[in-house]
Structure 1
Amino acid sequence: MALVNINKKLFSHLNVEDDDPVWEKFTEVGFSKKNIFPDNKAYLVEDGLVRKYYINTTSDVDVEVSADFYFPGDIFTVGKKGTDDAIYESLDKGLAWEITLDEVKKMFTINPHCRFVQNYYLSRKLNAAMKREMLLLKNTPQDLYEYLLKNKPHYIQNIPLKYLASYIGITPISLSRIRKRIH
């Protein structure tokens, strides 16, 4: 049965027609705060905020390192266990649409247009990762915070400060000092 509830306008950047049968392959997933998303699936975030993080075990204490955030309209994929150590956790309650990665692979073989969407998605993710890497390498934490303030204000407005600090690569106390200097 077709899922008429999915907000297709929110995902219009995927260039998938409203009547494309792919929409029927997605399953609605309501989630609560601190929900961990299962592996081997792709998700479209319709509502809520999801954080991707890693656990750094190199010190005496395990430290969570925030790597990315997903807002409404974003897509993220959780690979098979063992291929990536990333954990995807919701920071508040929300709604997503999930599809298995096996189903996605089938679509790519059947529909050449899906391959275009995949290439578009992958190139955007690669460009974002390279930009983030350059920002981290070339800038001070204050520069990074000011960059987020100017270019991604929704990060500052919606992400809890402890996760934002981790994303920038500093402690929450250091972030607090930066915020005092700027504001």
Structure 2
Amino acid sequence: MVSRFTEVVNFFSGFGIPSEVVKSQLSQFRSISLGTAEVLLVQGAEQDYGYFIVSGTLRACHYGESGLERCKEFYFEGELCFLYSSWLQGVAAQYQIETICDAEVIKVPLSLLALPHFLPAKVALLQQQLIFKEQKEALLLLNTPEQRYRHLQQYWPHWVSKLNNIQIASYIGINPVSLSRLKARIKCEK
């Protein structure tokens, strides 16, 4: 059983949790194989689990009553996906977590982060999330659309290779047509 969950054990060990402590909780973990567009957390539901991504890509989206879709975030292989605000406040999820391609995830009970032995991981995850949020705000507020796209190319090339134009455009705050023009202009510069 341990070999099936080696990556998630290593993930928590990277935050200073002894592997024996993580292994002692493995009976609570569940491996799940998912297809494209499958929902892991329904918008408005209580969040009890995070999803460690073994393969594939997930996203968190809010769906408005008029059908308007707002994508909050994308999550990739090796990341633990969950909604921090909902978790910290113990409130229903404002976003839906879903796959954007076939994925394999390990379902991790968020209650583990309340255990004393998991405190270093909880603190590290919160620090990591705060830094990421600050970086995202700076990216969106202080840069032009072209600078935002070039940032993705330089620092997160896996985003550019794994997401489609609609997803990238939505994330950097432009429409897909503008992104296509931007990409064509950048290609001509090379």
Shift of 1:3: 4.3
Say if 2:88 is the partner of 1:89. Answer: no
Which one of the candidate residues 130, 137, 141 is aligned to 1:137? 141
Cα deviation, residue 116, structure 1: 1.1
Share of identical aligned residues, percent? Answer: 23
- Structure 1's unaligned 5+ residue stretches are none
- One-letter code of the match for 2:157? P
Superposed CA offset, 1:85-118 (max 9, x none): 11111011111111333x325xx23x3x311110
Match of 2:54 in 1: 46
Q: Could you tell me the TM-score, scaled by structure 1's length?
A: 0.84
What does residue 13 of structure 1 align with?
A: 14
Counterpart AA for 2:40: F
RMSD: 2.2
Q: Contact 1:30–1:94 at 8 Å: present in 2 too?
A: yes
Structure 1 runs of 4+ off > 6 angstroms? none
**Which stretch of the first structure deviates more once superposed, 18-27 or 7-16?**
7-16
Deviation at 1:56, TM superposition (A): 4.9
Tell me if 1:4 matches 2:12: no
SS of the residue aligned with 1:99? Answer: strand
How many residues of Structure 1 are paired with residues of Structure 2 in the alignment? 174
Show the 5 A alignment for 1:48-87: 48-56=56-64, 61-78=66-83, 79=86, 83-87=92-96
Amino acid at match of 2:17: V
SS at match of 1:178: helix
Q: What is the TM-score when the length of structure 2 is the normalising length?
A: 0.82
For structure 2, list consecutive stretches of 5 or more residues without a partner in the other structure: 42-46
Question: What letter is aligned with 1:33?
Answer: T
The 5-angstrom pairing of residues 94-113 of structure 1 reads 94-101=103-110, 103-104=111-112, 108-109=114-115, 111=116, 113=117
- Contact 1:48/1:95, CA 8 A, preserved across alignment: yes
Q: Tell me, what secondary structure is at the counterpart of 1:143?
A: helix
- 1-structure distance, mates of 2:6, 2:184: 39
Matched, 1:165 2:169: yes
Contact 2:10–2:19 (CA under 8 A) maintained in structure 1: no
- One of 23, 37, 46 as aligned partner of 1:34: 37
Aligned residue for 2:3, secondary structure, equals coil
Matched residue SS, 1:45: strand
